[in-house]
Amino acid sequence: MIYKHKVQYYETDKMGITHHSNYIRWMEEARVAYLDSINLSYAKLEESGIISPVASVECNYKKTSTFDDVIDIKISVTEFKGVKLKLKYEMTNADGELCCVANSMHCFLNAEGALINIKKEYPDIYDILSNEVESQ
């Protein structure tokens, strides 16, 4: 899936470039849109009793972006076995230049905060996410 984000003025710093922290915000925007696109919205997950916090984030910045740039964020599932979900983000500008490559790792918790295995406890959700894993 490709999610598009237009860089806002407030996302830039005194030097006129996008502040690095915004790329992580864009990852969340893309992730929410992606989950919506596969019919697994955060609202649906939470209604099912599943919380999915971020366990780790890694960003490798390649090229700066500035106000009014449109950034394409390609998001894909690179790993999922039922307990952890790993997503990859490739962010490119309008010229197709790579601005950032990032990964986020997520786990799944129940309402009490205990780790859950989606494969065992929510097989329908497991099937959806398993089918999204990118071929290596």
Q: May I ask the CATH architecture of the domain 2-131?
A: Roll (3.10)
CB of 116 closer than 8 Å to CB of 104? no
Phi and psi at residue 126, to the nearest 5°: -60, -45
Whole-number pLDDT of residue 136: 42
In the chain, where the domains are located:
2-131
Mean pLDDT by 10 residues, the chain (136 residues): 97 96 97 96 93 96 97 97 96 97 97 94 95 78
Which 3 state secondary structure label does DSSP give 4? strand
Whole-number pLDDT of residue 135: 58
Residue type present at position 37: S
Measured CA to CA, the distance from residue 122 to residue 93 in angstroms comes to: 38
